[in-house]
Amino acid sequence: MAESIVNPDYDGADLVNLPSRTLSHGAYMEEYTQETIDGQILRDIVSHVSGHIERYELVTWKIHDPENPKNWSKPYKWWCTMCVALTCFVVAFNSAVITADLEGVAEEFHVSMEVALLTITVFVVGFGIGPMMFAPLSEVLGRRPIYASTLLIAVIFTIPGAVSKNIATLIVTRAFAGIAFSAPMTLVGGTLADLWRNEERGVPMAAFSAAPFIGPAVGPLVGGFLSDAAGWRWLYWIQLILSAVAWVAITFTVPETYTPKLLAVRAKKLRKETGDDKFVTEEDLDLRPFVERMRLFLLRPFQLLFLEPIVFFISVYMSVLYGLLYMFFVAYPIVYQQGKGYSAGITGLMFIPIAVGVILSACCAPLVNMHYLTLCKKHNGKPPAEARLIPMMISCWCIPIGLFIFAWTSYPELSWVGPALGGFPVGFGFIFLYNSANNYLVDSYQHQAASALAAKTFLRSFWGASVVLFTNQMYERLGYQWASTLLAFLGLACCLIPFVFYFKGAAIRRHSRFAFHPDEESQDDLKKPSP
């Protein structure tokens, strides 16, 4: 084997983007983050069969390897980025667009509004269930098969919604569509990490971060005018059209980007061409037993959620925000349609300030990234995980401010401007809070990060799915102003969470059995071969 010289300028994928739950704890993950001259790294291991040391060649990327997604041309990487961001937008749009005319569904099928709201609830519940299945499958099969198959299933299950003859069909098909649509939402962040190096990732990640929040803001806007003009069934036809476009774009124009899968294919090709079994990947050498993998995939997220204060309270905070977003879909029609007598289309226009806030915060995201890079230099490349909380500590106040404005300007006799403008700071705060929360969980748990994010997604989705069922009753009993004020105080109470963890997070992590500790990294380094 030729000498393997590691490219010092190469920035590998994030830890959350590596198969850490599929491979053993001591696996040589650098195979997936290094580039070498000949695309191989010597690996000596003790054979379980013979008990002797066996020599293998780990297949990795060559320096400037054209097959490495990070080395693709920028125009093509941007095309792939826009395809997956569009998919993410479409999924979020689909979750919200039907809120524009739930009354039409209730009237046609002779059911209560609570039953009609189940079409939102079961869809969002799918966002919590799906990742438990699709994230592990993507580590085994790669990203492309998951995108193609789940989006196709989602498209198919959107059709019955548009032609349904009863409410049961509508609810059941929405449930299946929600589960299927959760896959691209789960994989999009990883796909962008596959494509872009760390120093390039600021703008693409900002574009991706905005998509899940612009979708819910645009959904009621489009849905309002569409339902006024053509009825509630067209809210499903528009989902079908957009979902089919996303499926075609991502299935036929975006290739596989997941490095472990691509290297496994390359290793298999080398074995076939040379007839030598020494060409392998870490998946061939250090795969966890099946039972252990299932435990990590299915049990570990719940262990982290209920045993780790950091995961639990960050998940609670994100759940409150997610629930607030879906509460707005019910609260806006209450304030504008019931209170002011506006049409569904005009009510949809009131969501524009939320979208503007989201876009503006996405534009500011690269500045946040630049600030974090200065902290990295200050701490010699290893800033504490709590540095990720600084944007959250600043932006957390945007949520209660926006809600207080929305609450006390929502009197029917007052102008429409007040409640609409209240959505701007809420939209502005969402991206900063979500990105900070995700980054803090990743930095705090590192090799457990995928499970920590799965725990957060599970709790967030189930809470977001539940709140829409009691929002109507809450506004009826408390009134427009005090119902929104209650939400504002809830958001205000959550502002305490980032401050507590900023000052006490390091101490909490020191007593954690799952959190990442620097000494673990040092111990693992002793086990790894020198490239």
Q: Report H helices in 12-112.
A: 74-97, 102-109
Distance CA 218, CA 12 (A): 35
Which helix (H) or strand (E) segment is 426 a member of? Answer: helix 417-445
Q: How confident is the model at residue 10 (pLDDT cuts 50, 70, 90)?
A: very low
Domain-located, residue 524: no
CB 238 within 8 A of CB 101: no
Q: Is 275 left (phi over 0), alpha (psi -120 to 50) or beta?
A: left
Range of the domain at 185: 74-251
pLDDT at 518: 61
pLDDT in tens, 341-390: 888 889 889 999 999 998 898 888 778 888 888 888 888 878 888 988 99
Distance CA 410, CA 362 (A): 28
Average pLDDT over residues 316-338: 88
pLDDT in tens, 396-405: 999 999 999 9
243 with 306, same domain: the answer is: no
Average pLDDT over residues 72-89: 92
pLDDT at 39 over 60: yes
- Please tell me the pTM assigned to this model: 0.86
pLDDT at 525 over 50: no
Residue 507 burial (C-beta neighbours within 10 Å; 0-12, 13-18, 19+)? exposed
281 with 293, same domain: the answer is: no
217 with 146, same domain: the answer is: yes
- Indicate the residue among 251, 279, 309 that finishes a domain: 251
304 with 427, same domain: the answer is: yes
pLDDT at 46: 66
pLDDT at 111: 92
CB 387 within 8 A of CB 400: no
pLDDT at 181: 92
pLDDT at 316: 93
pLDDT in tens, 269-283: 999 988 888 888 888
The domain spanning residue 80 has which CATH number?
1.20.1250.20
322 with 460, same domain: the answer is: yes
* Cα 113 → chain centroid: 30
Domain-located, residue 132: yes
Distance CA 80, CA 66 (A): 16
Best-predicted range by mean pLDDT (240-254, 270-284, 448-462): 240-254
Average pLDDT over residues 101-107: 89
Average pLDDT over residues 439-451: 83
pLDDT in tens, 485-524: 999 999 999 999 999 999 999 899 988 888 876 655 444 4
pLDDT in tens, 152-193: 999 999 999 889 999 999 999 999 999 999 988 888 888 888
- Count of the separate structural domains present in the chain: 3
Domain-located, residue 528: no
53 with 165, same domain: the answer is: no
pLDDT at 14: 57
The percent of residues above 90 in pLDDT, for the chain, comes to 34
Q: How confident is the model at residue 8 (pLDDT cuts 50, 70, 90)?
A: very low
Whole-Å CA distances, 444 to 216, 301, 326: 30, 14, 29
Average pLDDT over residues 228-248: 93
Least confident of 232-241, 245-254, 478-487, 522-531: 522-531
Average pLDDT over residues 223-229: 89
pLDDT at 210 over 50: yes
281 with 318, same domain: the answer is: no
pLDDT at 516: 74
Please count the CA atoms within 13 angstroms of the CA of 89 that sit on its side-chain side: 19
Domain-located, residue 403: yes
115 with 228, same domain: the answer is: yes
Q: What is the mean pLDDT of the chain?
A: 85
Domain-located, residue 235: yes
